Amino acid sequence: MKVIDLLKHRGDSFSAQHSEFMQWMSPTLKEYWGDFMNRTQNSHFFAWVRDHHKPAVNEPDIQIEVPVEKPIVLKPEAQAVFNELSEQIGEVIHTGDWMNVSQERIDQFGQVTEDMQWIHTDPSKAETDSPFKTTIAHGFLTLSLLPKLTDSVDPENSQFPTAKMVVNLGLNQVRFPYPVKSGNNVRAKSTLLKVTPIKKGLEIEREIKVEIEGIRRPGCVVVSVIQLHF
């Protein structure tokens, strides 16, 4: 299509939409709209816009100042962690110890959350009716183990020992690719995705995979967001 034909097609389309739009306007609005369209079609339009933004006579010219954010200055201990982590983007920065997910643990979680479905808590029925031939852990049970699996709550084995406090901001994404069966051992492996300076310290994004011993597929994959306060 030639340029001139394209412009003509666009103009015809706009005219049709403009006529339909005008039908819905009130008489007063039509008058203002007509005045506006007339201005846009003559050479005085841009001058009118320019004059519209000028202050009136004896009216002060108010300048709006956009606040400039001050650069974040990290404490020395925070800067040291930032420098270290910046070189580890995309790398595995932590692999936890294996933990056993016993039937007792599954039952206790079911009682606390009032989720006592037989696929979790009835081994006999699960053996005959479940495709897994055994009970499986709640997905949220696996999720709730992340603080322990990532050593986030162990002061004797902290991943970030110089931080005064680790704050959990939440999860950007959660998936349960494979069920964790009763009696399985699991562990978490954390890959660093991003580290950002903030006023109180650092914000860190990690991909955490909960591995199941002897199984290729993970039981859980999340993108975790935490803050380190120094």
- Give residue-wise pLDDT tens across range 36-91: 666 655 555 455 545 555 555 666 666 677 777 788 999 999 999 999 999 999 99
- Give residue-wise pLDDT tens across range 111-153: 999 999 999 999 999 999 999 999 999 999 999 999 999 998 8
The 3-state DSSP composition of the chain as helix, strand, coil percent (nearest 5) reads 40, 25, 35
Report d(CA 135, CA 142) in Å as an integer: 14
- Give residue-wise pLDDT tens across range 197-225: 999 999 999 999 999 999 999 999 999 99
- For residue 166 the two structure tokens come to 């680790």
| pTM of the complete model | 0.69
